[in-house]
Structure formats: structure tokens, C-alpha cells
Amino acid sequence: MADKPNSTNSAGTAYAEGSIRVLKGLEPVKQRPGMYTRTDNPLHIVQEVLDNAADEALAGYGKKIKVTLHDDGSVAIEDDGRGIPHGIHPEEGAPVLELVFTRLHAGGKFDKGKGGAYSFSGGLHGVGVSVTNALSTRLEVSSHRDGQLARLVFAGGDVVESLSRRPLEPGERKQGTTVRAWPDPKYFESAALPMGELVQLLRSKAVLMPGVSVTLVNEKTKESQTWQYKGGLRDYLLQTLVGEPVIPLFEGEGHADAGHESFAEGEGAAWAVAFTEEGAPVRESYVNLIPTPSGGTHDSGLRDGLFQAVKGFIELHALLPKGVKLMPEDVFARASYVLSAKVLDPQFQGQIKEKLNSRDALRLVSGYVRPALELWLNQHVDYGKKLAELAIKAAQSRQRAGQKVEKKKGSGVAVLPGKLTDCESRDLAHNELFLVEGDSAGGSAKMGRDKETQAVLPLRGKVLNTWEVERDRLFANTEIHDIAVAIGVDPHGPLDAPDLSGLRYGKVCILSDADVDGSHIQVLLLTLFFRHFPKLIEAGNVYVARPPLFRVDVPARGKKPATKAYALDEGELSAILDKAAKEGVARDKCQISRFKGLGEMNAEQLWDTTLNPDTRRLLPVQLGGLSFADTEDVITQLMGKGEAAARRELMELHGDEVEIDV
């Protein structure tokens, strides 16, 4: 019987088993470096090595870190930590030193809990130094450990000089690691390291590890600089501040002890906060020594703690003038701070760890900051009153700005839809409208929301597919009429210049169930905004809220009380179960419930998971990699009435990539 020919497409290229490429080892990093690191310059791949050296110091094994910029464009990082183990890995049969630099998910940081090498570390994506190796033309590593010096050399991620070991000579350092890398310019927009950022990074490591010295040597300029801060965060903040502090610095720290009911031993934060009347505020936050330039839940915890304490003080002393409403921003507006949080299992947004996403970090930091500041304010009442004055002044100017806008647009406004539950504030920077699927979820959202800044508009049933509806026929549909009137902007096209001065909310958030129907409603609303309100998407006003799919009830264990956790998807669910397992709770003891829809959540759950700005997941809606016209073509294929054939072709082509939730 003749062999069956390969199926070929119209271009005649064969598509068979051999066409499927499996990316091995470090290939995925080389193919798509932007998924693993920042590609504007090589600083981030140097930082991966630096973080490892800092983790050794954080674990108490090193006192010195030295970074050398060599004449030939390479960067060397040297530490006096324990040295990377260079024996053979029991399961993999290869030297551990080699695995650390050639496997994406290898490292001591996954081994948490008793006897793990690192309790607190910043690296937890498991990509780490293997990415540095993949994106370097050459990388040399030497490890001083167990009386031996082990050395290994790579080129483009592959071993070119296999592991060599020799006994340490008298006078040589007994322990530590040196990594020297030559970043490959073809992966980066600029091959040069940004000196300002590098200096800032090294200085911050010294700040966060009082007593550890960090040195930078530049061979080209023959310059060398060493940072060592005995006074930690306080010294650093005072040196960096622009304006004069209105009151003395508020500093403190708090960490959980072994018997803490909610947090692991050692979790907590240290902070220094200064309030100034002028000058740009200095705001720096770190998690396990990793800088988080985009902030995250630990920053939110500091903000929450400061706000609650100041608000409590103002109420206690009856300082708030009539008609003034205090908001977190009013207290935070003039605050400069350095915050260093320690979190056992940090969850970051994105591979490059710029923003902390761990929900518990908010409670963790706030729980230590608030009581400390309350005590401090009540011990120094005069300073407390100065701080209260600063916050009240900020609240008054914010409210004045909000009223001006209101007067301008007060005349001739269409009557707001009856089912809209509006918010009290008129401040665009804080106002949010939630378009909620279904009346029952709408009810929970109304009860659970923040009345000051969050408005709710419940939608009944499926919204109209407006892709091919003419603009002047849109208002025939009640739902769409109500959405447009509530937002305060008229429908428009991509080339129009609509009047956005009537916009009533800074954020318009689509909130639908995490199931297939919910996704359909989301798509219909996104279609409406892209087709008839494109300027709102362009200005970054449209968002999609992501409610969790699962709730996990973890029973009480020892002194720790029972807890509830929420997971966005299967991945987060298994992370929660893994964490529980590490704390000694078997998987079958954890009760997992799946939310069929938002209507099943009570007001408090909905606030915790989906509405609270500090703990929710809110995705901004933006154009992806395609231009406006290309995006339009894709949506026409998906939403156009006469496009059934094109949709079918798309499904046949990509059907097997989709996980269907039946």
C-alpha cells in the first residue's frame, strides 16, 4: 500500500509531525527575549546575577558584593556568599552549577520551608541567571566552595569549557561566586548599561542591607565607588529628599514571629516615611531586596496604614472641617518613603518583577504600619496636628477642583438612567463605573462598592452586537443608551474629535462572570467601545475586571485560623494549594468551590476580590501589537454578520489552542 502523502496547503508546503518545533533548553529565551527580560538594555540580565549575590547576603552568608565593568564590555559580579554548589545533581546527573545556568526552572528558591536554602528571596520566576546566560555571547562562572575552585564557561547559553575543579591555594578566598558575562548586543536595543540606573540599583542594595558593602569598579574610567549604610533606610531617605520634612521622619519595622496566626515567621516590613510640602516625592519600594518601580500591594499596604492612622487621629481630635471628606490620596500626596517588605512567596506581575501582586502583602504591611503610626502620632500630638493640616489642605484643594468641573458641565445634562447607582465624588482621577452583568451581581456590587468613588450600572441579558449598527440607530437600544448617558460621552468614530469634557468616570470597568457567557458579554461590550467610543480606549479609560474563578477554604492549622483564598484561574489555584501543603494542610482537606457567576458572591467577597483597588485585578484595554485598521479587520472577522466562513476558518486553524470551558 502506497504511503499516504502529507496534506499540503495551497502554497504547497508540507505540514506534518516534523513541522512541529519543540523549543529546548534556552531556545525560548533567544526566540522571545522580551517575554523573559527587559530588552531596552542589558541591565536586567545583570540584575539577575546581582539579586543572587544579594540573596546570599540577605540569608546572612555574605558581607561584600563587587561589580566590575570591564574594558571589553563584560560585567563581573563577585560575592563572598556560600558559592554555588558544583557537585552532581542526584536526579539530573549533571553538575548543579551547570543546571543553574542552563535550565529555566532550576534554583534554590523553589525549595521553601524548613531547611530550604532561601526563605526570603526575590527570584521566584525560576528564569533567573539562565536568562543572563542565554542572552550573553560568553559567560564564565567560578565558585569557591568546599575547599575547591570550580570553573565553567558558556557561549550563547551552551557549555564550551566543561566543569574543572582544583584545590584552593593558600590565601585564596574560601567561599563565594564570581560570574562574568558578555551581554550579546543583538538582543538589546542598546548594548550600553544605563549608569544612572545601575548606580541607583547598587546603592539601594546597600541601603536595604545595613552593614553590607557594595562596590562598583569601572575599568574604563578607572573609578570606583563603595556604598555602605550603617543607618539603613533613614540615612538613605534623608540623603535623597528634595524638600524639608514638615515633621520628623516616621520610621519603624515589624516582622511576624513563629507563632503569628496569619503570616510566616520573618514576613513583615521596614519603612521610613517623610512628609514634605514641596519638591517631588521620593518613593522607593522593595520586596526581598528586589526593586519594584511600579509599586504594588506592599505600597498599597503602606498607603492604607498611613491613611487609617491619620484618619483615626483626625477623628479622635475632631480636626476635620465640615463638608471635607478625607481620602487616602490626601494623606499620601506629600509622602516620600522607602519601604522594604519581606514576603515568603512573592507573586509579581510580569516576568521582570516590577510590581508586587501578592494580595496578603497589603494586610501584612498595613498591619504593622498603622498601629506604629497611631502610637507615634498620639505620643507627638503637635506633629500629628501638622500632618493632619497637610492632609486636610490636600483634601480641600481636591474637592475644589472637582466642583469646578461640575459647574462647567451642569447645564443641559441628559437625565441619568434610573438603574445607575452613582458615586458621590466628581473627581475623574478616582471615579469608576462598573458595568455589571445581571441584576443579582449588580445588587452585590451596589452593597459592596465604595460609595464615594464607585458607581454601578447593572445590564440585563446580552448586550446588542453593535459592530454593524449605524451610530444614529444606537440609542434605539435601551442598554446602550443608558451606558452612553452614564459615561457622559456621545458615540463617535476613530477620526472624530468627540467632546470628552462630559466624561463622568476616569475608569469604565466591564465586570462579567468568569465563564463563557461572561466572556461573550465582555466581547460585546469591548466591540461597542472599540466601534463607537474609540477615544475612550485611546485615552485609557476602559478596563476589564477579572473576578476569581475559585474560592479555597483552608482549614485551621495549629495556631493559624482558617483562611479563605481566591484564585483567578487553575494556575493560581494550584499555587494556593501548594502553599497550604507547605504549611501542612493536605489538598483533600482544602475545600475548593468554583463560582458559577458573580451573583454567587456576597457583597464582601465581591469587594475583596474584584472591587477593592488594592487587591483586585483590573486589566487596561489597549490596542495590542496590531494597528487600529488591522484590529478592525480582526474584529470584523469575529463580529461581522456576513463573516461566518472566515470565523469557521479561524476556528479550524486555532481551535486546538483554546481551552473550552463547557
pLDDT one-digit tens code per residue, 302-361: 999 999 999 999 999 999 999 899 999 999 988 999 999 998 888 887 656 688 988 899
User: Is 124 among the annotated ligand-binding positions?
Assistant: yes
Over 80: is that where the pLDDT of 500 sits?
yes
d(CA 346, CA 269): 13
d(CA 657, CA 491): 35
User: Is 129 among the annotated ligand-binding positions?
Assistant: yes
Under a CB-based contact definition with an 8 Å cutoff, are residues 97 and 52 in contact? no
d(CA 217, CA 202): 12
User: Is 79 among the annotated ligand-binding positions?
Assistant: yes
Max mean pLDDT range (63-67, 257-261, 343-347, 461-465): 63-67
Which of 6-20, 188-202, 466-480, 628-642 shows the lowest mean pLDDT across its residues? 6-20
Provide, rounded to the nearest whole percent, the portion of the chain with pLDDT above 70.
90
Fold category of 232-404 in CATH = Ribosomal Protein S5; domain 2 (3.30.230)
Q: Helices 360-379 and 297-316: crossing angle, nearest 10°?
A: 30
Q: Which of 517, 538, 630, 649 is catalytic?
A: 517
Over 80: is that where the pLDDT of 121 sits?
no
Amino acid at 341: A
Mean pLDDT of the chain: 86
Q: For 40-54, what is each residue's pLDDT tens digit?
A: 889 988 998 998 898
Which cell numbers in the block locate residue 459? Answer: 445590564
Q: Which of 48, 299, 479, 513 is catalytic?
A: 513
Under a CB-based contact definition with an 8 Å cutoff, are residues 368 and 254 in contact? yes
Task: Provide the pLDDT for residue 221.
Answer: 93
Task: Provide the pLDDT for residue 167.
Answer: 94
Q: Is 656 part of the annotated catalytic residue set?
A: no
d(CA 376, CA 385): 12
**Cell numbers 500626596: residue:** 333
Q: Is 356 helix (H, G, I), strand (E, B) or coil?
A: strand
Q: Are strands 542-545 and 507-511 parallel, antiparallel or unpaired?
A: parallel
DSSP labels for 280-293?
Answer: PPPEEEEETTEE-T
**Cell numbers 552568608: residue:** 61
Q: Find the mean pLDDT for residues 43-72.
A: 90
Under a CB-based contact definition with an 8 Å cutoff, are residues 621 and 529 in contact? yes
Max mean pLDDT range (230-244, 359-373, 635-649): 359-373
**Cell numbers 520551608: residue:** 113
d(CA 656, CA 534): 32
Over 50: is that where the pLDDT of 408 sits?
no
Over 50: is that where the pLDDT of 117 sits?
no
Q: Helices 232-240 and 195-208: crossing angle, nearest 10°?
A: 140
User: Is 49 among the annotated ligand-binding positions?
Assistant: no
DSSP state of 70: -
Task: Provide the pLDDT for residue 225.
Answer: 95
Over 50: is that where the pLDDT of 112 sits?
no
Q: Is 40 part of the annotated catalytic residue set?
A: no
d(CA 197, CA 354): 14
Q: Which CATH architecture has domain 27-227?
A: 2-Layer Sandwich (3.30)
Amino acid at 244: E
User: Is 125 among the annotated ligand-binding positions?
Assistant: yes
User: Is 320 among the annotated ligand-binding positions?
Assistant: no
Q: In what order do the strands lie in the sheet with 432-437?
A: 454-459, 432-437, 507-511, 542-545, 618-620
Domain boundaries, the chain: 27-227, 232-404
Q: Find the mean pLDDT for residues 73-81.
A: 95
DSSP state of 88: B
Task: Provide the pLDDT for residue 123.
Answer: 47
Task: Provide the pLDDT for residue 14.
Answer: 61
Over 90: is that where the pLDDT of 204 sits?
no
The dihedral of CA 92, 93, 99, 102: what is its sign?
negative
Which cell numbers in the block locate residue 632? Answer: 478592525
pTM for the full predicted model? 0.59
Task: Provide the pLDDT for residue 107.
Answer: 58
Amino acid at 466: T
**Cell numbers 570606583: residue:** 224
Task: Provide the pLDDT for residue 89.
Answer: 87
User: Is 127 among the annotated ligand-binding positions?
Assistant: yes
User: Is 516 among the annotated ligand-binding positions?
Assistant: no
Q: Find the mean pLDDT for residues 99-113.
A: 65
Task: Provide the pLDDT for residue 643.
Answer: 82
For 357, phi and psi rounded to 5 degrees? -115, 0
User: Is 640 among the annotated ligand-binding positions?
Assistant: no
Over 80: is that where the pLDDT of 16 sits?
no
Under a CB-based contact definition with an 8 Å cutoff, are residues 41 and 189 in contact? yes
Which cell numbers in the block locate residue 383? Answer: 506633629
Under a CB-based contact definition with an 8 Å cutoff, are residues 273 and 331 in contact? no
Alpha carbon separation from 257 to 261, 265, 311, 558, 598 (Å, rounded):
9, 5, 29, 14, 37
pLDDT band, residue 258 (cuts 50/70/90) = confident
Task: Provide the pLDDT for residue 110.
Answer: 43
DSSP state of 502: G
Residues β-bridged to residue 457:
435
Q: Which of 197, 219, 450, 515 is catalytic?
A: 515
First CA to last CA distance, the chain: 42
Under a CB-based contact definition with an 8 Å cutoff, are residues 339 and 299 in contact? yes
Provide, rounded to the nearest whole percent, the portion of the chain with pLDDT above 90.
47
E strand or H helix at 335, and its extent? strand 335-342
User: Is 147 among the annotated ligand-binding positions?
Assistant: no
Task: Provide the pLDDT for residue 207.
Answer: 87
For 573, phi and psi rounded to 5 degrees? -60, -45
Alpha carbon separation from 535 to 473, 496, 626 (Å, rounded):
20, 9, 17
Q: For 556-612, what is each residue's pLDDT tens digit?
A: 877 788 888 889 888 889 989 988 888 888 888 899 998 878 888 889 989 989 999
Residues whose CB falls within 8 Å of the CB of residue 261, separated by 6 or more in sequence, listed in order: 559, 560, 561
Compute the residue count for the chain.
662
d(CA 484, CA 499): 13
E strand or H helix at 308, and its extent? helix 297-316
Residues β-bridged to residue 95:
88
Under a CB-based contact definition with an 8 Å cutoff, are residues 455 and 387 in contact? no
Q: Find the mean pLDDT for residues 415-427.
A: 89
Smallest CA-to-CA distance from 230 within 251, 255, 248, 207 is with 207
pLDDT band, residue 411 (cuts 50/70/90) = very low
Which cell numbers in the block locate residue 123? Answer: 527570584
Residues whose CB falls within 8 Å of the CB of residue 162, separated by 6 or more in sequence, listed in order: 152
Which cell numbers in the block locate residue 393? Answer: 489642605
Q: In what order do the strands lie in the sheet with 268-275?
A: 250-255, 268-275, 335-342, 283-287, 290-291
Task: Provide the pLDDT for residue 1.
Answer: 52
Which of 118-127, 179-188, 204-213 shows the lowest mean pLDDT across its residues? 118-127
pLDDT band, residue 136 (cuts 50/70/90) = very high
Query: Higher model confidence: residue 65 or residue 37?
Result: 65
Q: How many helices, marked H, and strands, marked E, lie in the chain? A: 18, 23
Q: Which of 437, 479, 482, 608 is catalytic?
A: 437
User: Is 654 among the annotated ligand-binding positions?
Assistant: no
Task: Provide the pLDDT for residue 410.
Answer: 39
Over 60: is that where the pLDDT of 153 sits?
yes
